[in-house]
Structure formats: C-alpha cells, structure tokens
Amino acid sequence: MPTTKRLEHDLAQMADLQERLWAESTGGGQRRVLLVLQGMDTAGKGGVVTHAVGVFGPIGVEYTAFKKPTEEERAHDFLWRIRKRLPGPGMIGVFDRSHYEDVLVVRVHDLVPKSEWETRYDAINAFEQELVDGGTTVLKVFLHVSYDVQRERLLRRLARPDKHWKFNPADIDERARWDDYRAAYDAVLERTNTDAAPWYVVPADHKTYRNWAVAELLRETLAELDPRYPQPDLDVATLRARLAPPH
C-alpha cells in the first residue's frame, strides 16, 4: 500500500489522465477504456466504483450495472445488450457485472444447454479482440472475496437496518452454490485470459487494498495510453488582442 502522499499524487494523476483521454476525443481521438468488474456478492464492485472510479470527472465516465436480462434482451444474442453500453471515444466505461454472467449464472443454474454456453467463451474472446482492434483497452478485474469474509459481510448487512436495502435473500441461495461458481470462474479465467484482454485477480477481503489495487490498475492503464490534449489551430495573439480592455 502506498503512503497517503503517494496515494494523493496517484489519484490526481488518474484524474488528469482521464481528462486528457476525454479531451483527446474532442480532437478526433478514438481511444477508450472498458473496466469490467466481476465477483461474487459482497466482493465490492460498488465500493470500487465509488472509491477507485469516483475520482474521475463524470463527463467522461459511463457506468452500467447489468441485471437479469429483460425479455427483450433475451430475444437477442447475449452480447446484444453489452454492445449497446460500450464506451464511446474518450470515455471510460465501467461494467458492474457483464457478458461474463452468460458463462457464469447460466452455467451454475442450467439456464441454457451446456452446448450453448460452451461456445460463448470463443465468442467472448472474439468480441473483446474486436473491441481492442477498434481502440478500446479492455481491463478485466475479478474481485476475489473469500467464503468466510462473504459470510461476515452478509451478517453485517443484516445487523444494520440502514443496509437492509442492499440485502437480497437470493444472495444466500447463491452462496450455497459457492463451489459451482468457483468452478465457473476458474473456467472463465482459464479460457478468456487473452493477450488482448487479460484478467487481473484482485484480493477483495480488505476493502482499502481492493480499492487501491483497482485504482492502480486504472492509473497504469491510462498512463500507458498517454492521451494527449488536442492542439487546435488558434491565433492566440489575435484572440488576446480582442480581449484587451477598451481604451
């Protein structure tokens, strides 16, 4: 973990880099970033959005939390709803859950035949390669919370009436399928960890470390892009003269 001074410096750099990425797009730049957050319930996807992504200016960030597919979404290919929420030039898109639910939940709950979800790994790899080829940097983060810590966090939510709004009894049902989800995530990490869009596994039992680690991944990603402010053709001297006070 960095010192407080270093953390403040890094957060300021993140904000500057994000502004530059957005500014670059106003001059025709096509680059953008997609942050994909996956993890079991209580892993802290929302916390990461608040503490790691919250440093960015809202004008260049688009957040999407994918829920259970609607009837309209189920009538299309599983990537249809994902494509609709992809970030545009200069944007940082944040996915709270994502297309990976279609090889996780559907597998654990037998929502579609194995022969169908098995083909989705290759479809996802091709989709993400397409994004990268089009100028999107795909940053995929699996927030790994332990079985015991998940239990503690669920109990804390139950103990606090002001947190009951966050509690879904279905979370306990999903917890009962822990081993099934672990196997499903193992398959995801093995079969969709590509050179174009690698996975980063971040320990999520300690919230402060979790938030810092994701923020650091974002900072490094943006620093590697090194976005530049556009250089418009301005006649600065003439413009200054026009702003001179009247005689």
| Residues 61, 94 contacting (CB under 8 angstroms) | yes
Chain segment 17-50, per-residue pLDDT in tens: 999 999 999 999 999 999 999 999 999 999 999 9
pLDDT over 90 at 191, yes or no: yes
pLDDT over 80 at 165, yes or no: yes
| Residues 19, 60 contacting (CB under 8 angstroms) | yes
Q: What is the pTM of this model?
A: 0.93
Phi first, then psi, for residue 117 (nearest 5°) are -70, -20
Selected from 3.60.10.10, 3.90.1150.10, 3.40.50.300, 1.10.8.190, the CATH number assigned to the domain covering 4-242 reads 3.40.50.300
| Residues 52, 155 contacting (CB under 8 angstroms) | no
Confidence of residue 211 (pLDDT cuts 50, 70, 90): very high
> Whole-angstrom Cα distance, residue 216 to residue 222?
10
Confidence of residue 160 (pLDDT cuts 50, 70, 90): very high
Residue ranges per structural domain of the chain = 4-242
pLDDT over 90 at 114, yes or no: yes
- Average confidence (pLDDT) over 179-196: 98
70 DSSP assignment: P
Chain segment 53-110, per-residue pLDDT in tens: 998 988 899 999 999 999 999 999 999 999 999 999 999 999 999 999 999 999 999 9
pLDDT over 90 at 247, yes or no: no
